[in-house]
Chain A
Amino acid sequence: MTRFSAWSVFRNGLTGQKDWDRQWRDAQPEKQYDIVIVGGGIHGLATAYYLAKNHGLKNIAVLEKGWIGGGNAGRNTTIVRSNYFRPGNREFYEHSLKLWENLSHDLNYNVMFSQRGHVSLLHSPGAVDAAARGYNTLRLTGSDAEIWQLDQLKQEIPHLNYSANARFPILAAAVQRRAGTARHDAVVWGYARAADSHGVDIIQNCEVSAVLLDQGQITALETSRGRIKAGKVGFSVAGNTSRLWDMAGLGTLPIESHKLQAFVTEPLKPILDHVVVFGVGGTHFYMSQSDKGGLVFGGDLDWYKSYAQRGNLPIAQDVAECAISILPCLGRVRLLRHWSGVCDMSMDGAHFICKTPLDNLYLNAGWNYGGFKAGPGAGWYFADLIANDRPHDVVADHDLKRFERGVNLDERGAGPDPKLHG
């Protein structure tokens, strides 16, 4: 495999791009694997990569029902941050952010992680205090976090709506500078290429149709490309977790599937250099500008449960209102596309990386809004769990029994209603 570098790009420019080969093999399924990861998104591919790289494991396959990265990996707003503050969540996302910071080098694939800063606008002294609680925790646990007063904010982002007549005048901002955005598809391809180079078989168009069990263990998976025997199985299929869980005869999960929409405008010359978050008066809105120039927006869930990957109008209106509210110069800017992804919304807004009632089945699910930024960390800890058959301390509480114990990982305090955990 040709190593990616300025040199190889230059050389291939001169030689007619001759050296470039498949970034990952078109693997045909073997009859048996030691470890089968179901789901070829960022999480699944990252898990396979770290299983091979960190734990030296071999004979691993990733099964993807369509094309890799076709689920939420390609349907998000590409924001990476670690400003979670509940114990466990905090350490998890911090580790993930650290992996992000060196991911391009680690994978030899430019995932374009741009640490442009994540700026949450604050509109009242009470909101500053509420944010400070979380951001102080970030700092005390070794992350970066700042509160910008209005003067500094105006310098950093000059053309926000600073009018005192705004419905919610801006007072300050909570900032994580190391946070930012990345190129989501590149993350998928980068992990696929790196996992493949460690010998992982990435099998596309391979949909699991049945889970074969024997004495509390999974023996094999029935797929659209034949039966595949498996030593250990990891589910990493955001949006479809409940269906696979059901196939494995395991009943219900503390998860609901909801759709989350994303929006992009026509490309513009740089107008916004940060990720900006606006959440006041019941709104929830975040925006950034892609390197190509499109402004990328995200908002609230549609609130009703859905597996349909398509958008609707009320949220489009809502998101536009929020955008204009903080950047009134965008009135004439046009929305180019909107789409939606299906999120596993959990009952406390936190994830599951855990063992299951089946001995050799492991679960990675329940990522709510956080799946993209969690990708590297989830792969890392999920691989650790599968390889060692016991959870790392950081995810020890992120199991299915936590509700029984009464452990609280709820960042928002919204309670056991999945639609409220944006």
Chain B
Amino acid sequence: MIRIPCPYCGERDHSEFTYGGDGSITYPALDAPMADWLEAVFERENVRGLQLETWHHVMGCRMWLLVERDTMTHEIHSVRAAHTGLAAVLEEKS
């Protein structure tokens, strides 16, 4: 069981969350060229080691999180709110 320290709820089992995907992808603008969209939607770094990924605390606060996790050891290095505004507020508070 991976234990994820949710910045809102505290440390919880990963079974409370759903895995989103590669968190390093920047999705292009809605009117961006097709090549950009193909790259973002279909291509993956597929990191073996530390990767930035998204998780959704679907059985908890329902916040999307950006998690730095090692895909070999499953060790978690950092967790922050995916929403930039919320992340900034949380940072200020802590």
Complex contacts, B41 vs chain A, CB 8 Å: 347, 403, 416
With an 8 Å Cβ cutoff, the count of chain B residues facing the other chain is 26
Q: How far is the CA of A255 from the CA of B55 in the complex (A)?
A: 19
Q: How far is the CA of A303 from the CA of B20 in the complex (A)?
A: 9
Q: Are B43 and A254 in contact (CB under 8 A)?
A: yes
CB distance from B41 to the nearest CB of A (A): 5
Q: Are B44 and A254 in contact (CB under 8 A)?
A: yes
Majority DSSP secondary structure for residues of A touching B: mixed
Q: How far is the CA of A254 from the CA of B71 in the complex (A)?
A: 18
Q: Are B44 and A253 in contact (CB under 8 A)?
A: yes
Interface size grouping (class) on chain A: 20 to 34
Check A417 for interface membership: any CB of B closer than 8 A: yes
CB distance from A354 to the nearest CB of B (A): 15
Contact with A along B32-59 (1 / 0, CB 8 A): 0000001101111110100101010000
Check B77 for interface membership: any CB of A closer than 8 A: no
CB distance from B35 to the nearest CB of A (A): 9
Q: Are B21 and A243 in contact (CB under 8 A)?
A: no
Q: Are A303 and B19 in contact (CB under 8 A)?
A: yes
Complex contacts, B74 vs chain A, CB 8 Å: 306, 308
Q: CB within 8 Å of B: which of A399-422?
A: 403-404, 416-419
Say whether, besides A242-B46, A253-B44, A257-B48, A308 and B73 are in contact (CB < 8 Å).
yes
Q: Are B44 and A419 in contact (CB under 8 A)?
A: no
Complex contacts, B72 vs chain A, CB 8 Å: 307-308
Q: How far is the CA of A113 from the CA of B44 in the complex (A)?
A: 36
Question: From B51, which residue of chain A is reached at the shortest CB distance?
Answer: A305
Check A216 for interface membership: any CB of B closer than 8 A: no
Q: How far is the CA of A106 from the CA of B48 in the complex (A)?
A: 38
Question: From B15, which residue of chain A is reached at the shortest CB distance?
Answer: A314
Q: How far is the CA of A304 from the CA of B41 in the complex (A)?
A: 18
Check A15 for interface membership: any CB of B closer than 8 A: no
Complex contacts, B29 vs chain A, CB 8 Å: none
Check A313 for interface membership: any CB of B closer than 8 A: yes
Q: CB within 8 Å of B: which of A297-349?
A: 303-308, 312-314, 347
Q: How far is the CA of A89 from the CA of B21 in the complex (A)?
A: 26
Contact with B along A340-383 (1 / 0, CB 8 A): 00000001000000000000000000000000000000000000
Check B9 for interface membership: any CB of A closer than 8 A: no
Say whether, besides A257-B48, A312-B1, A314-B1, A304 and B14 are in contact (CB < 8 Å).
yes
Partner-B contacts on A (CB < 8 A): 242-243, 251-257, 303-308, 312-314, 347, 403-404, 416-419
Instruction: Offer 16 A-B interface pairs, CB within 8 angstroms, sorted by A.
Output: A252-B39, A252-B43, A253-B43, A253-B46, A254-B42, A254-B43, A255-B44, A256-B44, A303-B18, A304-B19, A306-B74, A314-B14, A347-B44, A403-B42, A416-B42, A417-B21
